[in-house]
Structure 1
Amino acid sequence: MESVFAGRPGVTDVPVRRLGPGDVRDCLLLAIDRQWLPEEAKWRLLFEVGEVYGIDDPAGGLAGTTVLTRYGSGLAAISMVLVASRHGRMGLGRRLMLHALQQAGDATVFLTATQYGRGLYEKLGFETVGTVATHIGHLVPEPEDYKLDGVRPAHEGDLEAVLALDARASGAPRTRLITRLFTFAEQTRVVERGGAMVGFGAAWRRVDHVVAGPVVGESTAVAQALIAELVTGAHGQVRLDIDTRHAELTAWAVARGLTMAFDTALMVHGGPLPGDLDHLFTPVSLALG
């Protein structure tokens, strides 16, 4: 009798390897296979700030990927756990996750999970600690959203203060990621009060919309002002990934024209999460936190 794995020889024996920028094309093809958008800019950012791992398909291309992004020695994110549809139910996702967790060592690891991945992550020891609701639409700020004093475009001289603000909110140094955002993002804004930095935000473009994230601030009012400034003049739809703990910001986003598209579970391994998450209003992305 012909094996059910005919046409897929040897993939379960292929070791996980560290991928490089030359593998971006195969990462995009894998994303398309799983009906994800082929986001080349996002993948290249992940290669710059994280560690991309994969399993080669003996027939060509990639059978699976995952990304580990470290923030100092104590915190890390896992993302982009993708397995080719032709290699489903062969344990590749579990192998990739175990490899990433091994690389993370003693760090607290977090990820965001759809309903399809939660079962695997729970078996690996992840616990759900929150929910992130993704809102998408044409965001139209009101005049009062622009009245907060101290909002201005960010410049290179702000980087040290922005890094400190982000580290307090996220609980770890995200130096490489935040530094790269100053050139990766289409827009960056800061809020100053009394000579101190009290807010920072960036907006960057995906294939199909503009993401406002991260948005870090001392209050919801600061977050709203930053988002309004970041999306002014943006072409197309806007996306906000909002932790459901931020009910006031969620209500504001809906009142300004956004609609919840889906939600994901925020899950942690070796937690709890560090930092002051009440001041982290939106992540850079679901993949990076």
Structure 2
Amino acid sequence: MATYDKKKLELVQLNTHDVKSLIELSISVGWDYDKYEIETVLSSGIIFGHKNAEGKVVSSAAIISYDTNLASIGMVIVNKEFRGLGLGKEATQKCIDFAAINKSIMLIATEEGKPLYEKMGFRTVDCVHKYLCDNYTKSSKVLIKDGVTIEDFNNIDINKIVDLDKASFGDKRSNFLLNRINQSEQCLVVKDYNGNIIGYGISIRGPINLILGPIVAPDTETAALILDRLAFNHHGKLRIDVPSGNEEFMLFLEQRGFNKVSEPPIMVLHSENMPPRNNTLFGIAAQIFG
């Protein structure tokens, strides 16, 4: 690791002019943020980071504040050449300071970052289950479920999706969902026989994986139906991060060719536990969004 003068590194709020440099920072640590993902983060929250004398972004941390009681921190990255200077801690603290004083803050940590977050007061309350798939095993026929239909998202569906998401996630996140749907490869809604929306699912095309999530459904069978439709015509790698307590759904994933690769810890600050959830969240949006 080279030696750098920390005084020449400025912690600033980043913007759309920094997207290219943020992509390069992401690539430098083996992560796969692309232009569209970073733009969704910027339109949903705030990114802070250090710049060197040449204006290159050498660290980052993002915070997305949701509508009422919760915020999520992610995208905590430090260029390998600039580690050991406390940049990750400074950028993360800037995010914490930016959040409203009454908000609980969550993050999904890497094992490498967990000790830092513990020193900053975060505590582990749960984990997510990261699954990857190289070749999705399609069923011999498209999955169906009696009494429900699955359709493409229509703009008139947004308020119901926001309500379903709030109950499943633990906070209302209307701005983020609008941005995520605009970014999506597909957004599907599930309706019961009365035409009521009872679930939804989103897929996001990244540079490496098709990211599946959020997936919100009243039961495992419906969640499997949504995932199968999102993945059915995709040729390539897939990823989904599943909250704990969904063992039956995870078994379905493994039968379809997914492999669990890690269990990143969920950590919280200013709270003892995760916000109340109704057990209908089968896939999260992404680790940065909680």
TM, length-normalised to structure 2: 0.92
* 1:127 maps onto 2:126 in alignment: no
Shifted more, 209-218 versus 175-184: the winner is 175-184
* 1:96 maps onto 2:97 in alignment: no
Q: 3-state DSSP class of the match of 1:204? A: strand
Alignment of 1:130-279 (within 5 A): 130-137=126-133, 138-142=135-139, 143=141, 145-148=143-146, 149-193=148-192, 194-271=194-271, 272-276=273-277, 278-279=279-280
Q: Is the 8 A contact 1:130 1:265 kept in 2?
A: yes
Report the Cα distance in structure 2 between the residues aligned to 1:191 and 1:38, rounded to whole angstroms: 29
Shift of 1:215: 0.2
Q: Is the 8 A contact 1:12 1:90 kept in 2?
A: no
Matched AA of 1:276 = R
Shifted more, 85-94 versus 143-152: the winner is 143-152
Query: CA 1:268/1:277 → structure 2, altered by over 3 Å: closer, same or farther?
Result: farther
User: When the two structures are aligned, how many residues end up with a matched partner?
Assistant: 284
Report the Cα distance in structure 2 between the residues aligned to 1:42 and 1:248, rounded to whole angstroms: 30
Report the Cα distance in structure 1 between the residues aligned to 2:164 and 2:236, rounded to whole angstroms: 30
Q: 3-state DSSP class of the match of 1:114? A: coil
Matched AA of 2:130 = T
Q: Is the 8 A contact 1:128 1:265 kept in 2?
A: yes
- What's the % identity of the aligned pairs? 23
Query: CA 1:277/1:287 → structure 2, altered by over 3 Å: closer, same or farther?
Result: farther
Query: CA 1:76/1:222 → structure 2, altered by over 3 Å: closer, same or farther?
Result: same
Shift of 1:262: 2.3
Matched AA of 1:81 = V
Q: Is the 8 A contact 1:29 1:38 kept in 2?
A: no
Q: Is the 8 A contact 2:125 2:266 kept in 1?
A: yes
> Gapped runs of 5+ residues in structure 1?
none
Q: 3-state DSSP class of the match of 2:58? A: strand
Matched AA of 1:273 = M
Report the Cα distance in structure 2 between the residues aligned to 1:144 and 1:231, rounded to whole angstroms: 11
Q: 3-state DSSP class of the match of 1:164? A: helix
4+ residue stretches of structure 1 with deviation over 3 A? 12-15
Shift of 1:232: 1.6
Q: Is the 8 A contact 1:113 1:264 kept in 2?
A: yes
Residue 285 (structure 1) aligns with: 286
* 1:16 maps onto 2:15 in alignment: no
Shift of 1:33: 2.0
Q: Is the 8 A contact 1:31 1:82 kept in 2?
A: yes
Q: Deviations over 1:156-187 (max 9, x none)?
A: 11111111111111121211111122221111
Shift of 1:5: 6.6
Q: 3-state DSSP class of the match of 2:84? A: coil
Query: CA 1:12/1:268 → structure 2, altered by over 3 Å: closer, same or farther?
Result: farther
TM, length-normalised to structure 1: 0.92
> Gapped runs of 5+ residues in structure 2?
none
Q: Deviations over 1:184-217 (max 9, x none)?
A: 1111111112332210101111111211100011
Report the Cα distance in structure 2 between the residues aligned to 1:5 and 1:233, rounded to whole angstroms: 47
Q: 3-state DSSP class of the match of 1:183? A: helix
Alignment of 1:11-160 (within 5 A): 11-12=6-7, 14-104=9-99, 105-137=101-133, 138-142=135-139, 143=141, 145-148=143-146, 149-160=148-159
Q: Is the 8 A contact 1:71 1:174 kept in 2?
A: yes
The RMSD of aligned alpha carbons is 1.8
